[in-house]
Amino acid sequence: RENMDDALYGAKRFVRGLAKKVILANGAAKVPEIIYGAGASLCGSAAYWIAAVAYAMQIYFDFSAYSDMAIGLGRIFGFHFLENFDHPYRAKSVTDFWRRWHISLSSWFRDYIYIPFGGSRKGTFRTCINLFIVFSIMFPFVCSCTDRLIMKEMSKSTNCV
């Protein structure tokens, strides 16, 4: 019974994520594609603001959808993955935004790098060194993922100004 409940929950979660991706994220992606494709001479600043908001919505729904699909697929096969996304645009600070957007990534770096190096238990200097190590490892990873996303989006629009 428990396995069937997990499989049903996983299927629902996967379908919800797929719908977010296909309907919301892909729909939001069309707005900046049209505006940026029209060129600077045809669009005013209001259009570019609309494109920026639509692009932020596309990124949000893409990541939320992929998280839902991964959690749902995992549940179908009996795995229980942690939530990885908690309404980051409701954040009250940059730190809160990061925590809400990258829940499992942040937890992994904390649990497998920061704490084994001593965390904050060995004084201020060692804490700073440990934080430097974590961010030195994390920064290239996050930048490379972000860079690929930006380059993918820029390649769609050849008239980008």
Residue of higher predicted confidence among 129 and 39: 129
Q: Give dist(CA 23, CA 16) in Å, integer.
A: 10
25, pLDDT greater than 90: yes
Q: Give dist(CA 117, CA 38) in Å, integer.
A: 52
Q: What is the pLDDT of residue 107?
A: 80
159, pLDDT greater than 60: no
Contact status, residue 14 vs residue 6, Cβ threshold 8 Å = no
- The pLDDT confidence band at residue 160, using thresholds 50, 70 and 90, is very low
Average pLDDT over residues 12-22: 96
Q: What is the pLDDT of residue 148?
A: 59
In this structure, what token pair is assigned to residue 32? 């900046």
pLDDT digits (tens, 9 = 90+) for 66-105: 999 999 999 999 998 888 788 888 889 888 887 787 777 7
- The pLDDT confidence band at residue 41, using thresholds 50, 70 and 90, is low
Q: What is the pLDDT of residue 12?
A: 97
pLDDT digits (tens, 9 = 90+) for 108-155: 788 888 888 888 888 899 888 888 888 888 777 666 665 555 566 555
Q: What is the four-CA torsion angle of 23, 60, 140, 150, rounded to 10 degrees?
A: 60
